[in-house]
Chain A
Amino acid sequence: EVQLLQSGGGLVQPGGSLRLSCVASGFTFISYDITWIRQGPGQGLEWVSRISGSGRSAYYADSVRGRFSLSRDNSKNTVDLDMKSLRVEDTAVYYCAKDRSGWPEFDHWGQGVLVTV
């Protein structure tokens, strides 16, 4: 069974930092890109960042580029989202998600973690 288990959310002051983690199981982790998507209070879905299976390529939304950094450890089936210089507008539930099959069609999602700035 595919599972994405997230951790690391919480309350942080503006300008602070936080690390979110996503631990995967049930599939060949290195074969799949992992994407982070967030949802502000009462808002829609917003793409945040995406990392390739190898970890060599990472992409960021303009709203977080230069402040957020995405990395993965394929030996531990883990993806980490490091968030710095946090702003009030970064307050959201953050989800990690897995591609269905090579395309950014997200067939499995983490449970989501709340970040409050």
Chain B
Amino acid sequence: EIVMTQSPALVSVSPGERATLSCRASQSVDSKLAWYQQKPGQAPRLLIYAASTRATGIPDRFSGTGSGTEFTLTISSLQSEDFAIYYCQEYHNWPPLTFGGGTKVEVK
């Protein structure tokens, strides 16, 4: 089973600043990596798939990079609606499908 590790668990950022979130896989997942955003009481929302492709309707301030075992989600200029928890998920060699533990982005 592939283990996905996200860091940091919590990041404090001021509105307008950049946030950089990391996701590491215990073995290569090629580019089979998705990012989700989840707000309290809501279902997750797909942001990025195939490591770097924005999902439909996702603003271009969200970008994903990486391949193999190291991935990054960057939010270039945080808006108020971006404060949330972000999860990565691999789908290289399933089952199982695995998620990272999440990174919470909070207001500094």
Q: Number of residues in A with C-beta < 8 Å to the partner?
A: 23
Closest approach, in angstroms, between the C-beta of A34 and any C-beta of chain B? 13
Q: How far is the CA of A110 from the CA of B44 in the complex (A)?
A: 10
Closest approach, in angstroms, between the C-beta of A3 and any C-beta of chain B? 12
**Interface range, B side:** 20 to 34
Tell me whether B99 and A45 are in contact (CB under 8 A).
yes
Chain B interface, >50% SS class: loop
* Residue interface bits A85-117, CB-to-B below 8 A is 1, else 0: 000000000010100100111110111100000
Most chain A CB inside 10 Å of its own CB: which residue of B32, B91, B96: B96
With A44-B87, A47-B99, A111-B43 in contact, is A105–B34 under 8 Å at CB? yes
Q: How far is the CA of A104 from the CA of B50 in the complex (A)?
A: 10
Tell me whether B55 and A107 are in contact (CB under 8 A).
yes
Closest approach, in angstroms, between the C-beta of B71 and any C-beta of chain A? 14
With A100-B49, A103-B32, A104-B94 in contact, is A45–B89 under 8 Å at CB? yes
Of all chain A residues, the one with the shortest Cβ separation from B49 is A105
Q: Is B46 positioned at the interface, with any CB of A under 8 Å from its CB? A: yes
Closest 10 pairs between A and B when the two form their complex, measured CB to CB: A109-B43, A105-B49, A47-B97, A104-B91, A59-B95, A45-B99, A105-B34, A107-B46, A44-B102, A44-B101
Interfacial residues, chain B to chain A (CB-CB below 8 A) = 32, 34, 36, 38, 43-46, 49-50, 55-56, 87, 89, 91, 94-102
Interfacial residues, chain A to chain B (CB-CB below 8 A) = 35, 37, 44-47, 50, 59-62, 95, 97, 100, 103-107, 109-112
